[in-house]
């Protein structure tokens, strides 16, 4: 931050502190005279000081911690509700403090908003100062160059004027900006590295851009998930989502009216080597219609390669099996449906629930495991791999009231057994029904279950994130600014030449205006260049 | 060569590298212990010497250790100096050799996987790669910053971490989950490793700065021969200033790009992300502190160490605290896209 021309001090770093550098003490004032305006000005100055910025930064870091330890509703709502159940005493307190949604909480927002205000308050004056500095001339040489942090001197036979001409050349070649020469100058003044401050300003401004982009995403965006069984489809309306997280200003009417069907799903199971049993090369073959009256299009959806439809994106995030099960009730009514089973481990051993509310005379519920590759080892059922080589179902049957009529929402993956009785075999053992494809097994007390076949399901995450390109552009700009800010070295160099008794004494002085430069080598380089073409002259560098 | 051969090669190479690093450490210890008997040249002498060799003060002029004019009461004047110089060079040479061996180990891990992949799929490989980058950085900067005083610390650091990796973190070569198969992830992890290495080295130097600052300028021993606090501070700054943009690139650009492709949203407040963000903010605080009156120097150095602590905590600790992380298998077996244990 170049202020007006002044003799630089080695401790010049301080003038980059806006508090110290930008706000010279006001006129003398009597005690007790602090008016409202002054008070406000004082508060503003405090808020935009480097120290406040630093403390707010540290607070931000501190405030982010609880969200990584306490389960967050926005990250994993299931875990959060489990945690609440386990901690009935803490839950109300945590709730009041917003600890289940730290990153949306008032206090977290307050910190980063204050930081942003501080940032704006800090940047605006710096922009003005920078604008002036850009047009200012490099300051004239201080009287004693050898007191500067970087300095060197030597004597030469060249006339002082020639040395200075050469110095202008040398420094010009190194892209220093030169102070215009005036008659009678005994020194050349040069400065470089103006872009450092520009980089720093760009960095800080870009942070604002990132925040805006991020806010757009969380306010106007949404994300939702849906499980689709192969052969069926999905239309992009709210009611078709299994779960759904809208931004606070999200307008459901703005959802794009596409639909798609999952035609088939491929997965490759590795059968040998280290990766045995691992699934890979997942591909969902989709047919989709961007709008209700557009032509159908096809897309092979893979992990890391989402399908973009307008501003909405569809991601493949999980897969599993959906056995097709037919249940006949005691009255002979038939219901057939694919049922989504949830994988319990990497071999896709899956758990699922079948509910038949329309069954007569009693409602029927089934619950149990699906083995894609069933093998019996020592009398125990084992699932070898996730490939459906030997699909087998093992279910327990219940009759009674499924509890669906109470109106309370119920998970399709959970069987509420409070109104149900487990069916027993005549010998008193639970009525376990083991089925392979094509098998039909009677249920104790009437009816039967048939395992018709296996379909696959995919879970899709569908989301719209407005502002994401803005945020990305912002971070990239911030990085570019940061690189400039950290690696461009603003520096002032002066070269003075005076004739003395044994020739011309040349002094080079340099002042680094940022941290971490290597002044000595810079000065040495300049000296070498200055002496470069003086043939026959053997300059001795001294200090 | 078969995958198994590669894996064995990697194993042998890492064992050899560990031994050679250990020998390097020994060489440095001999170097420094033989210097203990030798008083450091007085401050005035050193200053005189410095200004004779370089043009000024205040920049990265490390106090030449080995080249100190050594005059002892006991031995001949030159002898200890030559001996220490020799052991110093030996340590450096061994470090270079071990570094090459470690590279072999890394390549071996990558070639042992089927299909071949980058050698950072789990914690073990991450530590291998990270320490390797630390050593490469140390060697690359050795001359420029005259880092001879860092030799014993770097070798001790690397030996320790390699031991931890081999004993506790070792895992057989395993293939990557599909979601990890992304060029963005490769860039993301490389830059995270490089930044971690730079921050670790920077943290070591900041710690030395704090120690040196506090010490009452003894005229013997290791501390006495460290560069001036000012120089240490500056080296630490340079390392952090290199690490910070790389970290920015890793966690705020490539990480989110990949997360968006795999998880559908670029920022999920997943614990790993939260801690990467915390680390970023703390290091931003460090850079700020260096320009804030009253925070320069000691407080800034402490901030750098806090930053390093958050970084390492994120790598190791958070796995034990977090309740929900997509970066681990815990709790998300159903998902195709959980990332491995990095
Ligand atoms: C959003 C929060 C902020 C972040 C993440 C941030 C980050 C950074 C970083 C990383 C640097 C180092 C770049 C360099 O050394 O040139 C820096 C420098 C700087 N920041 Fe900030 N900053 C923030 C807010 C602020 C605020 C509110 C102010 C005003 C008080 C401010 C004023 C400065 C100044 C003057 C520098 C230059 C320091 C120097 O020349 O070394 N920053 N900032």
Q: What is the pLDDT of residue B319?
A: 63
Q: What is the pLDDT of residue A6?
A: 35
**Mean per-residue pLDDT of chain B:** 79
Give the Å distance between the CA of A405 and the centre of ligand 1: 60
A118 lines ligand 1 (CB under 6 A): yes
Q: For ligand 1, pick from A48, A51, A53, A487 the residue to mutate: most ligand atoms within 8 Å of CB.
A: A53
Q: What CA–CA distance (Å, rounded) separates A284 from A457?
A: 10
Q: Choose, out of B114, B206, B264, the residue to mutate when testing the contact with A (most A CBs < 10 Å).
A: B264
CB A420 within 8 A of CB A187: no
Find the Cα–Cα–Cα–Cα dihedral B168, B172, B173, B174, rounded to 10°. -100
Contacts of B238 in chain A (CB under 8 A): 516
For range B59-74, the mean pLDDT? 40
For range B39-68, the mean pLDDT? 44
Chain segment B191-227, per-residue pLDDT in tens: 999 999 999 999 999 999 998 888 876 666 777 778 8
Chain segment B86-114, per-residue pLDDT in tens: 888 999 999 999 999 999 998 888 887 76
Q: Tell me how crowded residue A39 is: count the other CB atoms within 10 A of its CB.
A: 10
Q: Choose, out of A349, A516, A521, A543, the residue to mutate when testing the contact with B (most B CBs < 10 Å).
A: A516
Q: Tell me how crowded residue A414 is: count the other CB atoms within 10 A of its CB.
A: 10
Tell me the CA distances in angstroms from B289 to A140, A299, B297, one per residue in order: 31, 52, 8
CB A155 within 8 A of CB A539: yes
Q: How far is B254 from chain A (nearest CA, A)?
A: 10
Adjacent-strand bridge partners of A448: A328, A442
Give the Å distance between the CA of A111 and the centre of ligand 1: 16
Q: What interface predicted TM-score (ipTM) does this complex get?
A: 0.84
> Tokens in use for A519?
């002044």
Q: What CA–CA distance (Å, rounded) separates A342 from A331?
A: 30
Please report, in tens digits, the pLDDT of each residue of chain A (543 residues total): 333 333 333 333 333 433 333 344 444 555 556 688 888 888 888 887 888 888 999 999 999 998 888 888 877 777 788 888 888 888 888 888 888 888 888 899 999 999 999 999 888 888 999 998 888 888 888 888 888 888 888 888 888 888 888 888 888 888 898 888 777 778 889 998 889 999 999 999 999 999 999 999 888 999 888 999 999 999 998 888 888 888 888 888 888 999 999 999 988 887 776 667 777 788 999 999 998 888 999 999 988 889 999 889 999 888 899 999 998 888 888 888 899 998 888 888 899 899 888 887 788 888 989 998 888 888 788 888 888 888 998 888 888 888 777 766 677 888 888 888 888 877 777 878 888 888 888 887 778 889 999 999 999 999 999 999 999 999 999 999 999 999 888 889 999 888 888 888 888 888 887 766 678 888 888 888 888 755 434 444 433
A70 lines ligand 1 (CB under 6 A): no
CB A388 within 8 A of CB A373: yes
Closest CA to B133 of B229, B203, B200: B200
DSSP A55-69: HHHHHHHHHHSHHHH
pTM, to two decimals: 0.83
Q: Tell me how crowded residue A292 is: count the other CB atoms within 10 A of its CB.
A: 9
Q: What CA–CA distance (Å, rounded) separates A443 from A420?
A: 15
Contacts of A344 in chain B (CB under 8 A): 333
Better-scored residue on pLDDT, B76 or B59: B76
Across the interface, whether the CB atoms of A61 and B270 are under 8 A apart is answered no
Q: What is the pLDDT of residue A528?
A: 86
Q: What CA–CA distance (Å, rounded) separates B73 from B80?
A: 12
Q: What CA–CA distance (Å, rounded) separates A513 from B165?
A: 43
Across the interface, whether the CB atoms of B295 and A54 are under 8 A apart is answered yes
For range B23-45, the mean pLDDT? 74
Q: What is the pLDDT of residue A343?
A: 87
Q: Tell me how crowded residue A115 is: count the other CB atoms within 10 A of its CB.
A: 21
Note the residue count of chain A. Answer: 543
Q: How far is A274 from chain B (nearest CA, A)?
A: 6
> Tokens in use for A479?
């990085």
Q: What CA–CA distance (Å, rounded) separates B271 from B320?
A: 11
By C-alpha distance, the chain A residue nearest B174 is: A274
Handedness of CA B115, B120, B123, B124 (dihedral sign): positive
Instruction: Give the model's confidence band at B321: pLDDT under 50 very low, under 70 low, under 90 confident, else very high.
Output: low
- Cα(first)–Cα(last) distance of chain B, in Å? 28
Q: What is the pLDDT of residue B328?
A: 39
CB A460 within 8 A of CB A228: yes
Q: How far is B155 from chain A (nearest CA, A)?
A: 26
Q: Give burial (CB, 10 Å; 0-12/13-18/19+) of A499.
A: middle
By C-alpha distance, the chain B residue nearest A16 is: B291
Q: Tell me how crowded residue A227 is: count the other CB atoms within 10 A of its CB.
A: 18
Instruction: Give the model's confidence band at B146: pLDDT under 50 very low, under 70 low, under 90 confident, else very high.
Output: confident
Q: Tell me how crowded residue A155 is: count the other CB atoms within 10 A of its CB.
A: 18
Find the helix or strand (DSSP H, E) in which B34 lies: helix B3-36
Find the helix or strand (DSSP H, E) in which A171 lies: helix A160-173
Note the residue count of chain B. Answer: 342
B284 lines ligand 1 (CB under 6 A): yes
């Amino acid at each position: 931050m170049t202020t007006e021309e002044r003799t630089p001090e080695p401790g010049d770093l301080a003038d980059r502190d806006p508090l110290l550098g930008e706000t010279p003490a006001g006129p003398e004032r009597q005690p007790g005279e602090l008016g409202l305006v002054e008070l406000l000005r004082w508060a503003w100055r405090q808020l935009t000081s480097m120290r406040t910025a630093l403390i707010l930064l540290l607070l931000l870091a501190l405030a982010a911690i609880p969200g990584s330890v306490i389960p967050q509703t926005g990250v994993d709502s299931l875990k959060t509700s489990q945690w609440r159940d386990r901690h009935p005493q803490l839950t109300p307190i945590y709730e009041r403090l917003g600890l289940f949604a730290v990153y949306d909480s008032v206090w977290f927002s307050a910190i980063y908003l204050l930081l942003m205000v501080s940032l704006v308050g800090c940047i605006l004056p710096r922009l003005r100062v920078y604008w002036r500095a850009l047009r200012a001339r490099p300051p004239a040489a201080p009287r004693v160059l050898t007191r500067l942090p970087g300095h060197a001197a030597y004597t030469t036979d060249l006339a002082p004027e020639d040395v200075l001409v050469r110095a202008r050349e040398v420094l010009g070649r190194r892209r220093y900006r030169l102070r215009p020469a005036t008659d009678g100058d005994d020194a050349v003044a040069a400065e470089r590295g103006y872009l450092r401050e520009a980089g720093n300003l760009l960095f800080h401004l870009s942070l604002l851009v990132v925040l805006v982009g991020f806010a757009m995403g969380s306010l106007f965006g949404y994300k939702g998930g849906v499980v689709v069984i192969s052969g069926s489809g999905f239309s992009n309306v709210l009611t078709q989502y299994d779960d759904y997280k809208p931004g606070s200003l999200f307008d459901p009417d703005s959802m794009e009216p596409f639909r798609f069907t999952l035609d088939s799903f491929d997965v490759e199971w590795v059968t040998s080597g280290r990766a045995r049993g691992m699934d890979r090369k997942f591909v969902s073959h989709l047919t989709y219609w961007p709008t209700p009256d557009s032509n159908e299009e096809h897309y092979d959806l893979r992990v890391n390669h989402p399908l973009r439809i307008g501003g909405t994106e569809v991601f493949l995030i999980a897969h599993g099996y959906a056995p097709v099960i037919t249940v006949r009730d005691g009255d002979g009514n038939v219901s057939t449906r694919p049922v989504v089973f949830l994988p319990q481990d990497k071999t896709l051993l899956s758990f699922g629930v079948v509910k038949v509310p329309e069954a007569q005379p009693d409602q029927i519920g089934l619950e149990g495991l699906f083995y894609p590759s069933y093998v019996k080892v020592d009398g125990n059922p084992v699932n070898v791999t996730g490939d459906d080589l030997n699909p087998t179902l093992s279910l327990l049957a219940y009759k009674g009231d499924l509890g669906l009529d109470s109106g309370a929402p119920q998970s399709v993956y959970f069987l509420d057994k409070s109104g149900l009785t487990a069916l027993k075999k005549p010998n008193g053992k639970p009525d376990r029904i083991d089925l392979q494809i094509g098998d039909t097994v009677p249920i104790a007390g009437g009816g039967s279950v048939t395992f018709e076949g296996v379909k696959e399901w995919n879970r899709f995450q569908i989301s719209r994130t407005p502002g994401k390109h803005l945020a990305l552009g912002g971070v990239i700009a911030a990085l570019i600014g940061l690189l400039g800010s950290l690696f461009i070295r603003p520096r002032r160099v002066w070269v003075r030449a005076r004739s003395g008794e044994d020739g011309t004494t040349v002094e080079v002085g340099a002042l680094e205006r940022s941290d971490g430069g290597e002044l000595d080598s810079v000065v040495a380089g300049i000296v070498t260049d200055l002496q470069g073409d003086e043939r026959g002259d053997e300059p001795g560098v001294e200090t | 060569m078969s995958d198994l051969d590669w894996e064995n090669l990697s194993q042998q190479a890492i064992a050899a590298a560990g031994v050679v690093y250990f020998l390097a450490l020994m060489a440095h210890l001999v170097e420094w212990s033989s210097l203990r008997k030798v008083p450091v040249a007085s401050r005035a002498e050193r200053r005189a010497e410095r200004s004779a060799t370089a043009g000024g003060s205040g920049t990265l002029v490390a106090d030449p250790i080995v080249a100190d004019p050594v005059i002892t009461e006991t031995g001949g004047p030159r002898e200890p100096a030559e001996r220490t110089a020799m052991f110093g060079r030996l340590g450096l040479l061994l470090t270079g050799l071990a570094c090459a061996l470690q590279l072999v180990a890394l390549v071996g891990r990558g070639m042992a996987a089927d299909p071949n992949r980058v050698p950072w799929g789990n914690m073990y490989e991450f530590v291998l790669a990270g320490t390797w980058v630390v050593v490469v950085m140390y060697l690359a900067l050795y001359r420029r910053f005259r880092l001879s005083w860092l030799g014993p610390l770097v070798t001790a650091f690397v030996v320790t971490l390699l031991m931890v990796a081999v004993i506790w973190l070792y895992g057989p070569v395993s293939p990557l989950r599909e979601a990890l198969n992304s060029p963005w992830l490769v860039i993301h992890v490389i830059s995270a490793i490089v930044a971690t290495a730079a921050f670790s080295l920077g943290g070591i130097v900041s710690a030395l700065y704090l120690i040196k600052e506090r010490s009452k300028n003894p005229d013997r021993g290791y501390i006495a021969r460290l560069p001036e606090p000012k120089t240490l501070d500056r080296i630490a700054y340079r390392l952090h200033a290199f690490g910070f943009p790389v970290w920015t690139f890793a966690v705020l650009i490539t990480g989110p790009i990949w997360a968006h492709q795999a998880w559908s949203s670029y920022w999920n407040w997943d614990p790993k992300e939260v801690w990467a963000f915390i680390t970023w903010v703390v290091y931003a605080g460090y850079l700020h502190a260096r320009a804030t009156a009253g925070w320069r120097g000691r407080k800034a150095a402490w901030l750098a160490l806090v930053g390093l602590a958050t970084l390492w905590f994120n790598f190791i600790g958070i796995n034990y605290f977090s309740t929900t992380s997509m970066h681990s298998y815990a709790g998300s077996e159903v998902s195709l896209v959980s990332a491995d244990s990095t």
